[in-house]
Amino acid sequence: MANGSVVSAARPAGVISRLAKHKPAVFGALVILGIVAAAILAPMIAPFAPDDQMFDGLTLEGAPMPPDGKFLMGTDLLGRDLFSRILYGARTSLVIGVVANGLALLIGTLVGLTAGYFGGWISAVLMRLTDLMMAFPALLLAICLAAIFQPSLWIVALVIALVNWVQTARVIYAETTAIAARDFIAAERTLGAGTGRILFRHILPHLMPTIIVWGTLGISTTVLLEATLSFLGVGVQPPTPSWGNIIFENQTYFQSAPWLVFIPGAAIILLALAFNLVGDALRDVLDPTQRGRA
């Protein structure tokens, strides 16, 4: 660490000023802010309603219109304005990103914390369960789960959370065992602190940097998984626009109307990239031992 100052999650000002020196992270944060703003302001920015099938939205032959002055990103196979659908699709991606990833983070943290602190048979059972989850072909599992329940926005979020909590659980488990073995925890116990107090007042705060880093990186994984499920047709269902299902609906046109595939595709990459950049920078800032590692 250059100036030897201690940065912790408890001092967010230090974290933010350090992040501000990290150019890729600033770029990522600006992209996230932009996409969040676009999602919130969608009704005001969008030139057309996202599900309005316009008569002049198709050529005389019934093909989608390429991008022009009226339709900034062209129209899709039903004559709907792609730009408006992309704006509303940002809502889907962000909602799923936050809900599914929040849920995965919650499950992962609880499992890792419980297993790491109590050890013994509790840890054996919980960690064997995570081993089991690691052995599942993740996408196949998600597709099966999404096919079992009739997919809706919330079901898709739930499915993604059920597939994605494992990594967090393993990391939190490893850290919790290390912290629980330290003297200050033994001291707390001797002083009569209850289990709940030790877990949530003394161990959890030490895990916050890890939780923040994994929470940020996890949104990127979540966005990609949602897009993939929606692209296969088992994710968010049309007419609700999602960047993945826009590609799913229009892929038959991808040779003659490539913008219908590559504009939403670029949007997915941009959002996932932004969260990866910010997450990676957070890892550098919050955990100096990880600096420069892959």
Residue number with CB closer to another protein (22 or 202): 22
180: number of CA atoms within 13 Å, CB side? 19
Pairwise CA distance, residues 218 & 221, whole Å? 5
Q: Minimum CB separation from another protein for residue 281, in Å?
A: 11
Q: Minimum CB separation from another protein for residue 258, in Å?
A: 6
Q: Minimum CB separation from another protein for residue 27, in Å?
A: 9
Interface residue with another protein, options 224, 236, 257, 282 (CB under 8 A): 224
Q: Minimum CB separation from another protein for residue 161, in Å?
A: 16
Q: How many residues bind another protein (CB under 8 A)?
A: 44
- Which residues between 24 and 43 bind another protein (CB under 8 A)? 24
Q: Minimum CB separation from another protein for residue 180, in Å?
A: 20
Q: Minimum CB separation from another protein for residue 292, in Å?
A: 6
Site string for another protein, 261-280 (x = CB under 8 A): xx--x--xx--xx--xx--x
- Which residues between 5 and 24 bind another protein (CB under 8 A)? 24
Q: Could you tell me which stretch among 36-44, 55-63, 83-91, 219-227 binds another protein (CB under 8 A)? A: 219-227
Helix 259-286 × helix 243-250 angle, to 10°: 150
- 293 binds another protein per the rule CB under 8 A: yes
3-class DSSP state of 75:
strand
Q: What stretches of the chain show up as alpha helix (H) in DSSP? A: 12-20, 23-40, 42-45, 82-118, 120-135, 138-148, 153-180, 183-190, 195-197, 204-232, 243-250, 259-286
- 44 binds another protein per the rule CB under 8 A: no
- 238 binds another protein per the rule CB under 8 A: no
- Which residues between 114 and 173 bind another protein (CB under 8 A)? 128, 131-132, 134-141, 143-145, 147-150
Query: Which of 74, 86, 91 lies closest to 50 in space, CA to CA?
Result: 86
Q: Minimum CB separation from another protein for residue 13, in Å?
A: 27
Residue number with CB closer to another protein (10 or 139): 139
Instruction: Name the residue with tokens 């038959």.
Output: 252
Residue number with CB closer to another protein (117 or 231): 231
In sign, the C-alpha dihedral spanning 93, 269, 142, 252 is: positive
Pairwise CA distance, residues 111 & 188, whole Å? 22
Q: Minimum CB separation from another protein for residue 91, in Å?
A: 19
Instruction: Name the residue with tokens 């229009």.
Output: 250
* DSSP, residue by residue, 103-172: HHHHHHHHHHHHHHHH-HHHHHHHHHHHHHHHHS-HHHHHHHHHHHSPP-HHHHHHHHHHHHHHHHHHHH
- The DSSP code for 81 is B
Contacts with another protein by CB under 8 A lie at 24, 128, 131-132, 134-141, 143-145, 147-150, 220, 224, 227-228, 231-232, 244, 247, 251, 254-255, 258, 261-262, 265, 268-269, 272-273, 276-277, 280, 292-294
